[in-house]
Amino acid sequence: MVTTALGVSRLWATVGQGIVNEVYWPDTGSPQIRDLGFIVADDAGWWIEVKQQDRYEISIPQPYLPLPTVVREGERYRLVLEFLPDPLRDVLLIRYRLEGEGLLLYPLLASHLAETGSDNDAWVGEGLFAYSREHALCLLAERDFLRKSAGYFGRSDGWQDFKKHNRMSWDFDQAKGGNVSLMGELEGGEGVLALAFADSPEDAHTLAASSLEEGYDSIRPRFVEGWESWRNGLNLGPRAPAASTRVREMAYRSAMVLKVHADRTYPGATVASLSIPWGETRNDPYHFVWPRDAVETGFGLIAIGEFESARRLLSYLATNQLADGHWQQNFFPDGRPRWKAVQLDQVGLPILLAAKLRELNQLGGLDVREMVQRAAEYIMGNGPATPQDRWEENEGYSPFTIAVEIAALVAATSWLDPAAVGPALDLARSWNEQIEKWTYVEDTALAREHDVKGYYVRIAPSAGGLSGPLTIANRGGLQVRAEDIVALDFLYLARLGLRRVEDERIQNTLKVVDGELKVDTPNGPAYHRYQHDGYGEHDTGGPYDGSGIGRAWPLLAGERGHAELLQGRDRTPYLEAMAQMTGRGGLIPEQVWDTDPIPARGLYPGRPTGSAMPLVWAHAEFLKLLLAPDKRPLELLEIVEKHFP
């Protein structure tokens, strides 16, 4: 689960394995702890770290209300935890209740302040403290701790203490300049913890103490009221009430996920996910802004009537546009670049978002003329082949990217100077006429296998074209022929109005994609990105480590469902699949397991892998598929329809 309060607080928390994972502060791109877990023990030498026991349930009061409660049942204990962000302070409250004869509870906090865990200081005083580079945390207990200790992770931390002594025997005052961990022994079986963040330890202590002084029972109604008020302003459209209970609940949950990921320190910033895929073994987080994911989220916000949030997102993107008109591949919420590759779909998509808001008369006073002009000029000067495709792996002629570029150039004419309109439209028409030349093949082995005349490829390299070699980097540089690789990327040709969905070429490619990429799971259909993908767990279930086997994506079930939407057919099976392929908290993952179960690794067909969860883009795709009217995807623009009737 992911959670935040709707108030002035600048804190976001995630819950995984039944404990607190990362807590982000003061923005959605800055995780400040590794986790906050618990040890349950008695005074006779028995103990258990609760996250090692996969015996828990997680629930929230309503699908739109991210107030998670975790109930753990062990052989000797029952532990109930509720996680509550304080709307007025940068504080996470944790209410706990431990049941079991003669048992004690020990919070175990791994600090990771200031984007690094290597130089944190930890100490004990009137609480548990950590500090690094003007980032501080304080963990207080309602009844104070009976005992406290600060140690180095893997050497003198609380877990090592229990491993060596079967009890808490260390009471170190401090641990400086390293990967540090804090532990305390709680008095009594129930109470409240307050984890606060601030620029100084003193400020963090004040915030934690103030939150505890006001009291959990006073703060909780304020948190609930904020989310209830937001929910009352949602517009889920006419389709949601007619959907199944599962789909309707997922609509609210998806809207909540989009709202949770909205930054307040940098309004409009929306990271791809408050998660770290395969985080037990890798540190390759998703808490960065990808313009593509952000725009997909923006369309999801439009779907639920959150126009102000969509405008704020667009304004944020305009602020972070580079002078030449493109955007960095991704960046921190404060705008600092992370990866710097150029992906031309990420240049065109903000134009489409601006055009949709304009079409709906929802731009308000937002002036995006300069942003649109610069982006359009960049596309005209650098397209149609992209240096990197939407999967961030290959260069060349991508149906997805080209579709976005063409639609963006047409949409941009509403803002271009009169002298630039003609050249933009001429180029858009020229590229549109050459889409098949660049990306469509006929009479190949794959076409004959699926009994079709031809199909759109995933991407054609600039050197070699449709029959040229394509490198699969995440499979150790595997070389395949471009004409042998397909993806759902082509469907945006229809979603953006450049080709009719009834077009034989679209229908034939759907047939090939269904035959090559579709996986039927116990929870419904999902799709691989493309053949030979290596981004996913190994066949043993071992985590992705730079190579692996690409697994099925619920997001792509949503994209495939849009083909049914375009044809006025039933999209329900794809909505139901996405609503079922979730984790325990009901969040949609990036990938699901797609072969025989491996219970020892918690991998089951149609259930989340160790990939990112939630994937905000997937939740936005769900909302777009659910709430769009028949035959009219939300990305479809009237200005593009008129230009390509």
Cβ contacts of residue 265 below 8 Å, gap of 6+? 10, 26, 27, 333, 334
* φ/ψ (deg, to 5) at 271: -80, 160
Q: Which helix (H) or strand (E) holds 213?
A: helix 201-214
- Tell me how far apart the alpha carbons of residues 384 and 594 are, in angstroms, rounded to a whole number: 34
What global pTM score does this model have?
0.97
pLDDT score recorded for residue 281: 85
Q: What is the pLDDT of residue 547?
A: 93
Using 50, 70 and 90 to split pLDDT, how confident is the model at 118?
confident
Q: Is the pLDDT of residue 116 over 80?
A: no
pLDDT computed for residue 241 by the predictor: 73
Task: Answer yes or no: is pLDDT of 231 > 90.
Answer: yes
The owner of tokens 């008095």 is: 187
Mean pLDDT of the chain: 96
Q: What is the pLDDT of residue 283?
A: 81
Chain segment 76-112, per-residue pLDDT in tens:
999 999 999 999 999 999 999 999 999 999 999 999 9
pLDDT of residue 238: 76
Q: What is the pLDDT of residues 318-339, one digit of tens each?
A: 999 999 999 999 999 999 999 9
* Residue 496 confidence (pLDDT): 98
List the structure tokens of 615: 């994937």
Q: What angle do CA 492, 493, 495 make, to 5 degrees?
A: 50
Q: How distant is the alpha carbon of residue 510 from its chain centre?
A: 27
What's the whole-number mean pLDDT along residues 38-58?
A: 95
Structural domains for the chain: 2-214+223-231 (2.70.98.10), 233-643 (1.50.10.10)
- Measured between alpha carbons, how far is 554 from 594 in angstroms, rounded to an integer? 11
CA distance 441 to 445: 11
User: 364-387: per-residue pLDDT in tens?
Assistant: 999 999 999 999 999 999 999 999
pLDDT of residue 279: 87
Is residue 291 within 8 Å of residue 327, measured between CB atoms?
Answer: yes
Mean pLDDT of all residues in 615-642:
97
**Which position has the token pair 């022994």?**
185
Predicted pLDDT at 645: 85
DSSP lists the bridge partners of residue 270 as 262
Residue-wise pLDDT tens digits, 437-489: 999 999 999 999 999 999 999 999 999 999 999 999 999 999 999 999 999 99
Residues 6+ apart with CB under 8 A from 480: 469, 470, 472, 531, 532
**pLDDT reported for residue 128:** 98
Q: Do 303 and 237 form a contact (C-beta atoms < 8 A)?
A: yes
| pLDDT value at 72 more than 90 | yes
